[in-house]
Structure 1
């Protein structure tokens, strides 16, 4: 029997499946071979990626700023369902907090961020310095907001 079980790995599926069923744990069986089975390994890779995403969501801190209005149903997020499904933490912050932090951002920080933008992005010629500076000021303020609410 020991030799037979050593060559018949699928024999353990009913046993572990029974344990999962009795414990109320959902499971999915992938059937294939270890070598040269791209269909099987694509499915396994998809399950591993799904587990990775679930782990990230379970341990994340999501910041939500602003409020919905009636015309925004296409982007509505059910926060209760999100937390109930994946766990994690949601921090609801007010736009006014960002506005307050934005007012504290100095010129040096703005110019440093504009230089970062120009180094990292292909800034189009029709984008004015004024608009880049406004974006940079907001970008720095967002970093401050994240630092304030981060762990």
Structure 2
């Protein structure tokens, strides 16, 4: 048996409203919000007394989703804030965009900062890494060739 699809990527955030606004500015659609708690979620995630709020955001093509999660209890922990791109583990999510400079400017208005520089790969793509909510890296790619 093989997997059917990748359902979503989970991102733990400290400010759920700000994170949802950031991804909405990127062009994602809020498809649902809910509080989640109870013994069933404790058993699934392996923590006690879990009480969270979640927001699901969907990409415009309808195929990709992220789950933004704000932990009220137990309080979320951070291993290393603003970890660099070469840190072990999941480091970035890449989005294909149409006008990278416009998207970058709109995200910067939501507190995003370039992790490096906006640059070009051959005659093919313009690319950059942006530090977004909870210090995660959002990669942006604009096809030009």
**TM-score bracket, shorter-length normalisation:** under 0.3
Task: Give the structure-1-normalised TM-score.
Answer: 0.20
Query: Higher strand share goes to which structure?
Result: 2
Task: Give the structure-2-normalised TM-score.
Answer: 0.20
Query: Higher helix share goes to which structure?
Result: 1
If asked which structure has higher relative contact order (CA below 8 Å, sep 6+), I would say: 2
Instruction: Mark the structure with the bigger radius of gyration.
Output: 1
